Amino acid sequence: MAHTAKRPLLVIIAVALAIKVIVVAQLADHPMLSEDSGLDTSAYAELARRIVAGDLWLGPGLYYLSPLYMYVLAAGLAVTDSFTGVRVIQVLLGAISVGGLWVITNAWANTRAAWWAAGLAMATGVITFYEVLILQASIDTALTTGALLALTWAVRSDGGDSSRWFTLAGAAFGLAALNRPNMMAVAAGLILVLLIARRARQAGVFLAGLLIALAPVAIRNGIVADEWFTVASHGGLNLYIGNSPTATGFYQPVPGIRPSIAGQAHDVREVAGRALGRAVTDDEASAYFRNLALTWMREHPGDAIALFAKKFAYAFHAKYVALPYSFPFYVHETKSLLRWLPSGPWLLMPLGLVGLGLLARRSDRRALIWLSFVPLYAGAVALFFVADRYRLPLLVPMCVGAGIALDACASAIRQRAWTAMVVPSLAGAVLFALVNAPSALNEGRWEEGLKLAQRLVILGRDDDAAQWVARLAPDAPTPGVAYHLVGQQYLVVNKPAAAVPYLSSAVAAGYRTPRVLGDLAKAQDRAGDREGATRTLGMITPDASEPSGYWLELGRLGATLKALDLAERMFRHGVSLAPDDADARLQFGVNLVVQSKLEDATIELRTAVRLDPRQPDALAYLAFCELSAGNLEEAVRLVETALAIAPGHPVARSVQAAIR
């Protein structure tokens, strides 16, 4: 690099770093952004701690998170012993990537455009926000910038260095794919583009670099999990979330799988295993959901194409799509520098597309290879589903394009070349309107505020939580829902007395679903107000809004409260929703025994034994019913069977003593 280029680069990196360090100082202690706040952040923190403690392989099974960041985080912790120190390292990488953007833009255009691009990148708050998080997205822009810088040097090098740079570019895209799996599709697309451009040798060395970067993870998976897989195990699930009969193009929970890392790590195998009728490996579970998605796409090609087009368009839209964090919340609800970093997709997407169009028109075919990253990455996002953090890599070339567009505009104004501005200006206006078109998408600000209130409950900051609930309640999507969910959090942390006022407020606001009333009854019971709990339980009308297990839970609450008629109502409804559930039948049968309704109890317990012949509770209570009905021989058989399974079973022993 020429000496003259070093000084502006150092200035750019220093200014970018100063901006980003200020944001680190302002947000590092935010309750929602700490390493123990839950979701992906806590999972990465836990895995990194294991690596630092010596568990380098992180077995058993495949990685259930993208692997690169957990090792980067572990390295940062090993050096700094501080998550704040790690954040500083991350924003340093981000500042260096701003310098990389300057170099890329300077290579494809000129120094003036490079300054525009770097300035826009520094002013893009969403990039800095994600760099502050303990999350894989924190290094996405740095990795993407590195990959696109290597690709720039590769396609612009026609001499003997070409193969070296294409190998480096392949390796850079491989590293990016280990952090953001969508990059695998981009890398494959770039190889195809190189082949179409008759650069077979460059395509080959690019592939070699890609495989070199992926090899360590593939080898680890082969040794630890006996599955030669290169990315995280939940790729099939993400494909299904984005491509199914109920897919919207954005994240939504899958029935039976908790919307958390624990769900991806455990529930995916459980759901796939039940569907396939056998235990499955991580790869098999991912393949199960992948096949569901591919089957739907194959059987509904029109719907799949329309959904893909929708997701492709939203990859460029200005609307923020929260997952798991709502960037607009931190802009508007924290006193941070983020509110003074106004650049974002609303500006970068239209300007960037215009500038990249100008680059394509002015340059030779080499630029087209580099430019192919944009549709390839947008397509890779659209293949799955759209979220803010998945779109971050797309902002890197958009900064380059925006810098080129602003430089072209400034040059035209200086030269008074008004006619040259007509087409780009019209294109920019149309793109600006499309990118910023009104959308019903929820940016997640209210939901993030609710999660903050719940987090404050966990931290014991009750007054702060109350203030947030007061702010949230007027704008709640359903009146009373904020009170309910915060009250529910108090139940989780075992503060029922604190939960009761919130849950009562939810009911007073008209939010009287079975779940709300049930939570209030549980809180009242645990707070010692059994009369109030019984009264609240009596207000519940069973319906199909909750699964069978919930009604069984309320049935048990009724039994605890000695409200046996209410308990029977809840148990009966739970059984009606899951007639083939042996445990539901057992719980209902036991409740009927307690009420001395032995004839009805016998029916339920016989069904329970038929559904699960090895359940000692069902066998013992049924033996009691049969003995009471005078069926001595059957009672003896049932007792012997129960005691053979559980020799010390108290009910079976009691019935056996009565028989003797």
Instruction: Indicate whether 457 and 411 sit together in one domain.
Output: no
| Token digits of residue 544 | 């199909």
Instruction: Tell me which of 511, 541, 571 is where a domain ends.
Output: 541
Cα–Cα nearest to 334, from 24, 69, 609, 657: 24
324 Cβ contact list (under 8 Å, min separation 6):
39, 40
Residue-wise pLDDT for 68-80, tens only, equals 999 999 999 999 9
| Token digits of residue 91 | 């924003």
Instruction: Indicate whether 135 and 24 sit together in one domain.
Output: yes
pLDDT at 230: 65
pLDDT at 235: 82
Instruction: Tell me which of 494, 513, 541 is where a domain ends.
Output: 541
Average pLDDT over the chain reads 93
| Token digits of residue 660 | 């003797």
54-93 b/e (C-beta count within 10 Å ≥ 16 → b): eeeebeebbbbbbbbbbbbbbebbeeeeebeebbbbbbbb
Residue-wise pLDDT for 361-390, tens only, equals 988 888 999 999 999 999 999 999 999 999
**Does any domain span residue 297?**
no
Instruction: Indicate whether 18 and 57 sit together in one domain.
Output: yes
Which spans in 81-199 are helix H?
Answer: 83-108, 111-122, 125-132, 140-156, 162-179, 182-196
**Does any domain span residue 240?**
no
| Token digits of residue 514 | 């079975």
**Does any domain span residue 564?**
no
Residue 394, number of CB atoms within 10 A of its CB: 21
299 Cβ contact list (under 8 Å, min separation 6):
none
pLDDT at 331: 97
Instruction: Tell me which of 506, 541, 576 is where a domain ends.
Output: 541
pLDDT at 263: 67
Cα–Cα nearest to 101, from 86, 85, 123: 123
Q: What integer is the mean pLDDT of 261-280?
A: 82
**Does any domain span residue 487?**
yes
**Does any domain span residue 657?**
no
- In this predicted structure, the answer to whether residue 348 has a pLDDT above a threshold of 70 is yes
Q: What integer is the mean pLDDT of 264-293?
A: 86
Instruction: Indicate whether 55 and 204 sit together in one domain.
Output: yes
Residue-wise pLDDT for 427-457, tens only, equals 999 999 999 999 999 999 999 999 999 999 9
250 three-state secondary structure: strand
Instruction: Indicate whether 383 and 482 sit together in one domain.
Output: no
**Does any domain span residue 145?**
yes
Percent of the chain at pLDDT > 90 equals 83
Residue-wise pLDDT for 489-530, tens only, equals 999 999 999 999 999 999 999 999 999 999 999 999 999 999
- In this predicted structure, the answer to whether residue 555 has a pLDDT above a threshold of 80 is yes
Distances (CA, A) of 141 to 19, 132, 251: 16, 12, 22
More confident position, 420 or 211: 211
Instruction: Indicate whether 424 and 448 sit together in one domain.
Output: no
Whichever domain contains 455, its CATH number is 1.25.40.10
Band (486; pLDDT cuts 50, 70, 90): very high
Instruction: Indicate whether 217 and 162 sit together in one domain.
Output: yes
**Token pair 């199960």 in the structure block, residue:** 288
Residue-wise pLDDT for 129-175, tens only, equals 999 999 999 999 999 999 999 999 999 986 657 889 999 999 999 99
**Does any domain span residue 304?**
no
pLDDT at 232: 61
Q: What are phi and psi of 342, to 5 degrees?
A: -80, -20
Residue-wise pLDDT for 19-32, tens only, equals 999 999 999 999 99
Instruction: Indicate whether 407 and 454 sit together in one domain.
Output: no
pLDDT at 61: 78
How far is the C-alpha of 485 from the C-alpha of 502, rounded, in Å?
Answer: 9
Instruction: Indicate whether 98 and 146 sit together in one domain.
Output: yes
Question: How many folded domains does the chain comprise?
Answer: 2
Instruction: Indicate whether 405 and 487 sit together in one domain.
Output: no
Instruction: Indicate whether 19 and 140 sit together in one domain.
Output: yes
pLDDT at 160: 59
**Does any domain span residue 623?**
no
How far is the C-alpha of 311 from the C-alpha of 321, rounded, in Å?
Answer: 12
pLDDT at 579: 93
Band (264; pLDDT cuts 50, 70, 90): confident
Q: Is 401 exposed, middle or buried (0-12, 13-18, 19+ CB in 10 A)?
A: buried
Instruction: Indicate whether 418 and 457 sit together in one domain.
Output: no
Distances (CA, A) of 568 to 532, 564, 577: 19, 6, 14
Contact by Cβ (8 Å): 450, 485: yes
627 Cβ contact list (under 8 Å, min separation 6):
635, 655, 658, 659
539 three-state secondary structure: coil
Q: Which domain holds residue 507?
A: 444-541
Residue-wise pLDDT for 215-236, tens only, equals 999 898 888 877 776 666 578 8
pLDDT at 523: 97
171 HSE (CA, 13 A, CB side):
12
